[in-house]
Structure 1
């Protein structure tokens, strides 16, 4: 009876392990086109005393290339279209698109180009690169965690913090935080 209980416990433990635990970055070698299906780019800006607002970008494109021989030579390119920003509040959306913040009419793209990828675990990496918005470029870092690899589709959970004042978007500070918290799901299709 004891052996049976231990056997059931071992089977339950195996079932409870995340599927991605068996997938390592080296297994994911190849080039992937970021798909808007299954992907999401969310951000949060806090407000003094609590609150703030959340938003997302509906349009973006990019690619992820994972080098099997040397993960540090992997690349990430991401382009976000700021006119697609949405908070669920039309007045705030229009303000964010205006020349006070994104200036989407004159700066229609926000670009991130990686300069290095540093492996931090079997399924994680620190991605460093150059972010360009409103004609200004600065180094930024994001953490990426491999969430899955199946049938030519790869999925990453990416987080990072960006100071908006660097890019001339500091309107509303200090009432609204200078720090923009990004929380992204990037799903790529091989090929």
Structure 2
């Protein structure tokens, strides 16, 4: 074999190895919880969650900085344990879910902070406005399903916060809310 052929073969193996370092996962919609809470006039924190969540994760266990995540949330799936309040939150006063049906998060940088922890910064898009938000993320582990060894799941927990007014939810103060919205996220994802 010529030297140039050998170099090309070695380069191909190295590039293939690095290209496959990250594993691909789909977020399991039945095991994805995106919860939030915000101050309600100093009386308590108003809580809610989104029931329809999907997305994908590229997870490089050897170098988490090369990982990525994309999450899509159906804005109209908001649930705050009160139908009247849910309807109001979907209106133009808050999420304007008809005009902006999706809330998305796409990672832009990941900083490892511990053996199983990282800061994941990404663009949160809400009401057509995109701004960076940083989440503190913990990898909870990975294993096959107890009843199906061919299906591998991994799981993550994350917390973070953002200012709702910065994203255009200008009516928050009129109802004694916020302005900060705290996030509490848990997702399980299935390896492709």
Which residue of 44, 48, 60 maps to 2:37? 44
* Residue in structure 2 matched with residue 166 of structure 1 by the alignment: 166
User: Contact 1:82–1:110 (CA<8 Å) still a contact in 2?
Assistant: yes
TM-superposed deviation, 1:69:
4.6
How big is each residue's C-alpha offset from its partner over 1:73-99, in whole Å with a ceiling of 9 and x where there is no partner?
210100111100001101110011001
Gaps of 5+ in 1: 1-27
Quote the Cα distance in structure 1 between the aligned partners of 2:155 and 2:53: 16
1:140-179 counterparts in 2 under 5 A? 140-151=133-144, 152-173=152-173, 175-179=176-180
CA distance in 2, matches of 1:38, 1:83: 18
Q: Secondary structure at the match of 2:71?
A: strand
The residue number in structure 1 matching 2:77 is 84
Q: Does residue 1:187 correspond to 2:188, yes or no?
A: yes
The 5 Å alignment of 1:87-166 reads: 87-151=80-144, 152-166=152-166
Measured in 2, the distance between the counterparts of 1:112 and 1:169 equals: 17
Q: Contact 2:165 / 2:172 at 8 angstroms: preserved in 1?
A: no
**SS of aligned partner of 1:103:** coil
Residue 170 of structure 1 and its aligned partner are, at CA, apart by 2.8
Q: CA RMSD in A?
A: 1.5
Q: Distance in 2 between matches of 1:76 and 1:166?
A: 23
Tell me the equivalent position of 1:24. Answer: none
Tell me, in whole angstroms, the C-alpha distance in 1 between the residues paired with 2:25 and 2:136. 18
2:173 is paired with a residue whose SS is coil
Equivalent pair of 1:110/1:133 in contact (CA under 8 Å): yes
Output the CA distance in 1 between the equivalents of 2:120 and 2:97.
26
Alignment deviations for residues 103-158 of structure 1 (CA, whole Å, 9 cap, x no partner): 11000101111001111101011000111111111111001101121111011111
What is the CA–CA distance in structure 1 between the aligned matches of 2:40 and 2:122, rounded to whole Å?
28
TM-score by length of 1: 0.82
